[in-house]
Structure 1
Amino acid sequence: MKPGTLHLIPSPIGSNTDVLAPYIRSILESVPYIIAENEKTVRRFLATQMSSELLAAKQFAILDEHTPFQDMPALLDPILAGQDGAIISEAGLPCVADPGSALVQLAHSHHIPVMPHPGPSAIFQTLMASGLNGQRFMFEGYLPIQEQERLARLRFLESLSSREQMSILWIETPYRVKSLFASLCRALREDTSLTIGQALMTEESFIYTATVGDWKKGAIELKKSPAVFAIQALPVAAGLRSNKSGGKAVGKPKK
Structure 2
Amino acid sequence: MAATPAPPTTAPGTLYLVPAPLDHGCDTLTPLDDVLPRGTLRTAARLTYWICENAKSARALLKRIDAVEPLAATLQAQQIAELPRAVHKKGDHTGATGFDARPLLAAALAGHDMGLVSEAGMPAVADPGSSVVRAAHALGVPVVPLVGPVSLLLALAASGLNGQNFAFVGYLPQEATERADRIRALEALALRTGQTQLFIEAPYRNAAVLQALVQTLKPSTQLAVCAGATLAQACNTSLRVADWRRRADLLPEQVRALPSVYAIGP
Asked if Structure 1 and Structure 2 have the same fold, meaning a TM-score greater than 0.5 normalized by the shorter chain, the answer is: yes
Per-residue deviation, 1:35: 1.1
2:43 is matched with 27
Per-residue deviation, 1:52: 6.3
Amino acid at match of 2:257: K
- Find 1:61's aligned residue among 59, 62, 81: 81
For structure 1, the residue ranges without an aligned partner over 5 or more in a row are 234-255
2:5 is matched with none
Matches within 5 A, 1:117-128: 117-128=146-157
Could you tell me whether the CA contact under 8 Å between 1:65 and 1:99 is conserved in 2?
no
Amino acid at match of 2:125: V
1:206/1:65 CA distance change after superposition, 3 Å: farther
Per-residue deviation, 1:225: 2.1
Per-residue deviation, 1:101: 0.7
1:226 aligns with 2:245: no
1:238 is matched with none
- Find 2:230's aligned residue among 168, 192, 201: 201
1:6 is matched with 15
Amino acid at match of 2:21: P
Identity %: 37
1:140/1:40 CA distance change after superposition, 3 Å: same
Could you tell me whether the CA contact under 8 Å between 2:224 and 2:237 is conserved in 1?
yes
SS at structure 2 position matched to 1:66: helix
Per-residue deviation, 1:206: 0.8
Distance in 1, matches of 2:71 and 2:139, equals 33
Per-residue deviation, 1:71: 5.0
For residues 164-208 of structure 1, give each alpha carbon's deviation from its aligned partner in whole angstroms, at most 9, with x where no partner exists: 112111000011111111211232100000001111211211110
1:87/1:138 CA distance change after superposition, 3 Å: same
Distance in 2, matches of 1:204 and 1:74, equals 41
Distance in 1, matches of 2:122 and 2:226, equals 17
Runs of 4+ in 1 over 6 A off after TM superposition: none
Distance in 2, matches of 1:81 and 1:20, equals 29
Could you tell me whether the CA contact under 8 Å between 1:93 and 1:119 is conserved in 2?
yes
1:190 aligns with 2:219: yes
Amino acid at match of 2:78: K
For residues 104-159 of structure 1, give each alpha carbon's deviation from its aligned partner in whole angstroms, at most 9, with x where no partner exists: 11211112111111111121111111111111111111111121111111111111
> What is the aligned length?
233
Amino acid at match of 1:88: V
Per-residue deviation, 1:65: 4.6
Could you tell me whether the CA contact under 8 Å between 2:224 and 2:238 is conserved in 1?
yes
Amino acid at match of 1:42: A
SS at structure 1 position matched to 2:101: helix
Amino acid at match of 2:139: H
Matches within 5 A, 1:74-89: 74-89=103-118
Amino acid at match of 2:213: L
1:109 is matched with 138
Distance in 1, matches of 2:71 and 2:186, equals 48
Could you tell me whether the CA contact under 8 Å between 1:172 and 1:227 is conserved in 2?
yes
Distance in 2, matches of 1:30 and 1:71, equals 27
1:72 aligns with 2:87: no
Please give the TM-score of this superposition, normalised by the length of structure 1. Answer: 0.86
1:48 aligns with 2:64: yes
Distance in 1, matches of 2:164 and 2:220, equals 21
1:27/1:69 CA distance change after superposition, 3 Å: farther
1:129/1:64 CA distance change after superposition, 3 Å: farther
Distance in 2, matches of 1:47 and 1:61, equals 17
